[in-house]
A and B are shown apart, each in its own frame.
Chain A
């Protein structure tokens, strides 16, 4: 092929843009403008070249790439060596032909962008090119390295020659052939449309997923195993197919395998030694390796069939909790986390002690989620696990604890919540007062009133104060109204502003209570000079008078 200096320049440029494209395609998704621009540019370069040439062929050496006799790339190093990248799998020539479409170019670049050292790629570059069957990209590969034995072909042919009979009996065969049998027609032309249809049916039946088929074989192999080693090998294969199903196949396939294995393990006709192995095998569903895969699936955008998920949960034992707690900390999506939490709520019902270890997890968000799970399970025994957590250093955990203690309504919970009313973090204090109010217990009312009447209550923010008064409004009786009215009427000589905030919150609580007995006290304050107090009082009056 004749090559001009211009051709060589283009070939050099193309090799350089391949190197850049390898990086770009690795970094950016295909909907990214940089990705699209890279592809457009390279394609445009080819289109320009093909305006006056039909083919661009690159010859690959270990450290060099040649266009014709011109070296267009050289890299003596091992890292980022494009020539070596092609050369090591036996690729020796790459040709791009006129008519190269952008689609083919993109698929080619995607192949060379693969990181064969790091990614789990089952094929080498030649196989990947072969599978794509490009129309306008051709290659030559050296297959010498495929040989297990050097000069095998020569040896085999020599051997055949040496084995050849000294004297063949061609002429004897010739003579005998006259009395030999007539050629029988083996009827090779009687294929009918029905045969074709039967074959099409057979091909249609040949579904891609063969896990069900292999499972059937494994069950046969169980009964064919003649000794413990063989039996263990078959069980090992069961293990492998379960892992394969969860990694590469539909979740339902995986669940189906487990179900069938369980059925076999529980079938009275299954021999005891096989039953024993199958039961051991089934413990794999509770393993962290499997649960990690399930977690990944739930974290993805793929829709999960709730019925199959339900079936799956029915197959799990309480040992699975540890795995799910571990997965809980790695879920990236909110929906994924929610699903794991729901699974743990379901799994933990029979024995909440399995969560004890999880509460010691160093990740605050895992601990917080476990506290939530325990509160949702609602077993009072959870309090004994939660109490030692009360002084957890993370406020978000303490806030979750406050919510949980509110659900348990026992003296120990009340004691902690009372302490939380003076927690260093406002978020915890507010959660505690809310949790206390939710208990509806009379003693709790006293705790809230005591807090409100404490000297330092006025130091709390308006927002927090309102939370306390709102909590108090949960006890709708004359005592509460009397306490609030009394507070409205109380005179203060100290911090007028903060005093007005407390009164405003009291008015707010009275509004919530809706008791008309409070109206006289409120009327007196509706013209207050303090605008905050005035607004709250007006709103309360309106609420009591009109119910809104």
Chain B
């Protein structure tokens, strides 16, 4: 198929995927011949069939990770489609379905057969087989399993390379931030072009390997807290922005402003910033000036542009709460900027879950999320906090979990659809022996459709001297 046609298919694909979700949702509620189902099916076929009028054309829908691909192109979706996309991803995963291939126009009868097989497969012991057997009569429709996709798309070597790339990008970003802050302190010229390049790499990784880069933010035992924190906030913000449907270029902008959000800390005296004990009232007076200093410092950089303008706004507002408490004190009416609200969530989460000089034992990731959900409507925007909690998941990377198999491990990679079924690195087997290298996907089921492993208890890794870096950085490669 010609590239131009590919592009037009990509454009309409988000609507087709959304409509497929609508069809399936309706079919789960109503009988297949119900008018709501029939109308939805008609709309779906009228969208997809024109693309398949030529016998050489194919519509291949694949699920890779948490994203749909049509004819090998990743499909981004507008915010209003988020629920339907998430629903369809979860329905595909329930059936261990990796995708579907449509090679010719579908009629209403074909769709009735497909829907019947699709609905009934959910209750089957082997949902994928039930589904593929159920649609054998539809010649122009086929379903594929995720295993096949895995074989086709990613081998172990590639995974290892990607991990290396993720680490490289992460440390490049920290190195840049360190240089940036030091240069600011000494009044040297700042190179924003470099920052853009770094954030672009992070955006690419978030778009394709979100969990891996997010995993890097879970490792908190670094000496240089401020630099790692800035990078973590940037990564969390970009990942969050991606969930909110921001464009690629808007994500870069968001990543940059998040990277610079704590710029004002260069003016906080080191003895306060690195104070080994808890900050006293006077220290806090100084610390609370950093948003003001941040905005001021950014605005003093050579010439204003859109990035510096937004960075100054976010630097000033990132400690302002939803209910206008927080700092600095501002006069009403005042509403924080959209990016400030995003960065504030990322900042709050990373700060809570990080050890600082004066806070040796940080909050456990799942407790941090709970605390943030409690702060909805006062500290945080109530809608955004929901989205954020969904992204980080019930069991964020770095959480320690006990499974119903009496195995014990550390959450290695989150599952954005089934948030309580992440990938876990097993550290202790069911007999209580330490082991190495067993990775368990908690979304996996046995032949009877029962989950192989289910997390039942969680506890705080910080209380047990657990070196997350050892497991997340070195173990994974």
Interface of A toward B, CB cutoff 8 Å: 90, 97-101, 122-124, 126-127, 130-131, 133, 135-136, 141, 143, 146-149, 152-153, 156-157, 159-161, 163-165, 167-174, 176-178, 180-191, 193, 195-200, 202-203, 205-206, 210-211, 213-214, 216-217, 220-221, 223-225, 230, 233-234, 236-237, 240-241, 243-244, 248
Contact = CB atoms under 8 A, between A and B. Distances in A.
A217 B79 contact: no
Interface of B: 2-4, 6-7, 73, 79-80, 82-83, 167-169, 171-172, 174-176, 178-180, 192-194, 196-198, 200-201, 219, 221-223, 244-245, 248-249, 252, 292, 295-296, 299-300, 303-306, 309-310, 312-313, 316-317, 328-331, 334, 337-339, 366, 369-370, 373, 381, 383-384, 386-387, 389-390, 393-395, 400-402, 408, 419-420, 427-428, 432, 434, 455-459, 461, 463-467, 469-470, 473-474
Contacts of A161: 469-470, 474
B337 A241 contact: no
Contact of A173 (B82, B295, B408): B408
Chain B contact surface mostly: helix
B84 to A, nearest CB: 10
A220 B83 contact: no
Given A143-B197, A147-B175, A101 B3 contact: yes
A363 B249 CA distance: 48
Contacts of B427: 170, 174
Nearest to A234: B296
A165 B467 contact: yes
Which residue of A97, A141, A178, A189 has the most chain B CB atoms within 10 A of its CB atom?
Answer: A189
A59 B6 CA distance: 27
A180 B459 contact: yes
A152 B197 contact: no
B396 to A, nearest CB: 10
A133 B219 CA distance: 31
A173 B458 CA distance: 10
A347 B232 CA distance: 55
Contacts of A210: 306, 309-310, 313, 337
A177 B221 contact: no
Given A169-B465, A178-B457, A195 B304 contact: no
Contact of A177 (B222, B390, B400, B469): B400
A199 B401 CA distance: 33
Contacts of B83: 191, 193, 196
B383 A198 contact: yes
A135 B3 contact: yes
Contacts of B339: 206
A225 B473 CA distance: 44
A211 B305 CA distance: 10
Nearest to A166: B465
Contacts of B295: 217, 221, 237
Contact of A99 (B2, B245, B432, B474): B2
Contact of A130 (B171, B200, B331): B200
B197 A177 contact: no
A200 B81 CA distance: 11
Given A184-B366, A240-B299, 4 more contacts: A163-B467, A191-B82, A223-B331, A230-B292
Contact of B432 (A171, A217, A237): A171
A165 to B, nearest CB: 4
A172 B316 contact: no
A217 B313 contact: yes
A173 B193 contact: no
Contacts of B466: 168-170, 173
Nearest to B391: A188
A148 B179 contact: yes
Contacts of A186: 366, 369-370, 373, 389, 393-394, 419
Which residue of B174, B312, B370 has the most chain A CB atoms within 10 A of its CB atom?
Answer: B312
B386 A195 contact: yes
Contacts of B198: 143, 146
Nearest to A236: B300
Contacts, number: 265
A345 to B, nearest CB: 34
B304 A243 contact: yes
Given A164-B470, A173-B459, A240-B304, A221 B369 contact: no
Contacts of B467: 163-165, 168
B259 to A, nearest CB: 13
A135 B6 contact: yes
B124 to A, nearest CB: 23
Contact of A127 (B193, B306, B401): B193
15 contacts: A101-B3, A126-B200, A146-B197, A161-B474, A168-B464, A170-B428, A173-B461, A183-B394, A183-B458, A184-B366, A185-B394, A196-B79, A196-B83, A199-B79, A210-B313
Contact of B178 (A98, A148, A191, A241): A148
A515 to B, nearest CB: 73
A191 to B, nearest CB: 6
A177 B402 contact: yes
A449 to B, nearest CB: 67
Contacts of A126: 197, 200
Which residue of B179, B401, B427, B457 has the most chain A CB atoms within 10 A of its CB atom?
Answer: B457
Contacts of A131: 248-249, 252
A218 to B, nearest CB: 8
Contact of B402 (A153, A180, A189, A199): A180
Contacts of B168: 143, 153
A205 B383 CA distance: 15
- 10 tightest Cβ-Cβ pairs between the two chains A and B: A99-B3, A148-B179, A153-B171, A152-B175, A237-B299, A177-B402, A206-B338, A244-B304, A173-B464, A188-B390
A195 B7 CA distance: 31
Given A160-B219, A206-B338, A216-B334, A174 B408 contact: yes
A431 B464 CA distance: 99
A101 B389 contact: no
Nearest to A205: B338
Contact of A149 (B175, B389, B408): B175
B174 A156 contact: yes
A221 B408 contact: no
Contact of A189 (B201, B304, B390, B461): B390
Contacts of A101: 3-4
Contacts of B2: 99
Contact of A191 (B299, B334, B373, B386): B386
A199 B244 contact: yes
B30 to A, nearest CB: 19
Contacts of B221: 160, 163
